[in-house]
C-alpha cells in the first residue's frame, strides 16, 4: 500500500510564529516505517521525497506517484535507498542485496522499484536531468571524514556515500554520520546552505531515548523532539543540528542547486540564539 503526504514550503518569517504542533506538522518526519507499506512525504523543498518501505515478508512495488506527474517515480528522478534494517533486496532492473547500512543509488529511468526481504528501507528522491548508472555502495566504499572532539562532545565520523568523491549524481548527496561513544552533538558548530535543502533521519537510537533536533534561523532557533527512525525536513534557511540522550547515528540527504558539500555558511557559536 502506498500513501503520500505533501509538505508545502514555509518561509522563515512564518516559521518564527509556530508552536510545537505547527513545527512538527511542517518539519517533523515520523511514522514512515510501517509493516507492509510504502509511506512517502513529497516536499516542496527542491521537490525532495523522503519515505520508508517495510516489506515485512511480501514484495512492495513503488511505481506511479501521482504527485510526480509521471507514469513511474523514476521517469524524471533519481533515488537513494538506505537499508536501516535486516537483510533485504531492492529490484530496479537488477537485484541488489542490501545489508544494514548499505546505500543504493538508482538512476533516472530505472523503472519501478520493488522492495523485499527483511529490510527497512529509507527512500530519498529528487528530480534528475540525466541518467547515471545505478550503484550499490557499502560503508567501506564511502568516503570518511572524522570531525569534532570529546572535549566538545561532538566527536563523530561522517561517511559520504552518494557524494562527488565517491560517485556522480544529479543533485542528491547522501551520507551517514555516527557519533563516537560519549559524544552527543551533531553538526555543531552549525551552518546553513541557502542553495540546498536537507533531510535528517535519526537511527540506532534506543527506543527509550531521544534526540533534540535544532532548526530555524541561527538567531531564531527552535527545537523538536525526535526518536528512533524519526527525523526532520530542513529548509535552506534553517540550521540542522541536534543532541541525543544516548548513542545514535543519522542519515543526511541534500538536494538543490549544487553538490558541493562544503558550500555552506558557518554560524559562529556566539551568534546562535
Q: Check which CATH number belongs to the domain holding 127 and give it.
A: 2.60.120.10
ω into residue 266 within 30 of 0, thus cis? no
The pLDDT value recorded for residue 110 is 97
Q: Tell me: is residue 191 an annotated ligand-binding position.
A: yes
Residue 21: predicted pLDDT: 98
Residue 98: the pLDDT is: 98
> Mean pLDDT for each consecutive 10-residue tract of the chain (273 residues)?
97 97 98 98 98 96 97 98 98 96 98 97 98 97 95 96 96 97 95 96 97 98 98 98 96 94 90 94
Radius of gyration of the chain (CA): 17
Number of folded domains in the chain?
A: 2
Domain contains 21: no
> 241 is written with which cell numbers?
543540528
Can you say whether residue 128 is alpha, beta or left, with left for phi > 0 and alpha for psi between -120 and 50 degrees? beta
Cell of 20: 510545537
Sign for the pseudo-dihedral over CA of 64, 68, 74, 79: negative
216 within some domain: yes
Model pLDDT, residue 272: 93
User: Residue 216 is part of which domain span?
Assistant: 139-271
Same domain, 208 and 94: no
- Closest Cα to residue 137, out of 96, 178, 108, 78? 96
Q: Are 36 and 98 in contact (CB under 8 A)?
A: no
Q: What is the pTM of this model?
A: 0.97
Per-residue pLDDT, 262: 83
Q: Are residues 133 and 146 in the same domain?
A: no
Tell me if 163 is assigned to a ligand binding site. Answer: no
The reply to whether 104 and 154 lie within a common domain is no
Out of 106, 137, 168, a domain closes at 137
- Same domain for 103 and 182? no
How are beta strands 220-226 and 211-217 bridged, if at all?
A: antiparallel
Q: Are residues 62 and 94 in the same domain?
A: yes
Domain boundary among 122, 137, 152: 137
Residue 23 inside a domain? The answer is no
- What local confidence, expressed as pLDDT, does residue 258 receive? 87
Tell whether 144 and 128 lie within a shared domain. Answer: no
Q: What does the alpha-carbon distance between residue 244 and residue 208 come to, in Å, rounded to a whole number?
A: 12
Amino acid at each position: 500500500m502506498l500513501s503520500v503526504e505533501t509538505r508545502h514550503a514555509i518561509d522563515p518569517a512564518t516559521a518564527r510564529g509556530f508552536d510545537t504542533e505547527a513545527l512538527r506538522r511542517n518539519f517533523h518526519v515520523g511514522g514512515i516505517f510501517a509493516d507492509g507499506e510504502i509511506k512517502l512525504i513529497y516536499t516542496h523543498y527542491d521537490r525532495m521525497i523522503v519515505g520508508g518501505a517495510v516489506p515485512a515478508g511480501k514484495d512492495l512495488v513503488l511505481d506511479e506517484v501521482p504527485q510526480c506527474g509521471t507514469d513511474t517515480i523514476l521517469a524524471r528522478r533519481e533515488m537513494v535507498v538506505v537499508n536501516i534494517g535486516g537483510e533485504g533486496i531492492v529490484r530496479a532492473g537488477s537485484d541488489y542485496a542490501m545489508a544494514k547500512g548499505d546505500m543504493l543509488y538508482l538512476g533516472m529511468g530505472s523503472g519501478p522499484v520493488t522492495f523485499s526481504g527483511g529490510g527497512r528501507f529509507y527512500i530519498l528522491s529528487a528530480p534528475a536531468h540525466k541518467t547515471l548508472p545505478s550503484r550499490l555502495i557499502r560503508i567501506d566504499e564511502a568516503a570518511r571524514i572524522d570531525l569534532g572532539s570529546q572535549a566538545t562532545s561532538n566527536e563523530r565520523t561522517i561517511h559520504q556515500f552518494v557524494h562527488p568523491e565517491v560517485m556522480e549524481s544529479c543533485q542528491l548527496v547522501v551520507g551517514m554520520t555516527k557519533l563516537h561513544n560519549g559524544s552527543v552533538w551533531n553538526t555543531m558548530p552549525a551552518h546553513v546552505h541557502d542553495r540546498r535543502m536537507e533531510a535528517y533521519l535519526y537511527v540506532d537510537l534506543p527506543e527509550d531515548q531521544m534526540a533534540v533536533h535544532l532548526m530555524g534561523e541561527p538567531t531564531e532557533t527552535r527545537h523538536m523532539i525526535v526518536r528512533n527512525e524519526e527525523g526532520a525536513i530542513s529548509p535552506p534557511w534553517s540550521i540542522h543540528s541536534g543532541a541525543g540522550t544516548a548513542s545514535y547515528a543519522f542519515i543526511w540527504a541534500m538536494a538543490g542547486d549544487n553538490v558541493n558539500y562544503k558550500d555552506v555558511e558557518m554560524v559562529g557559536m556566539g551568534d546562535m540564539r
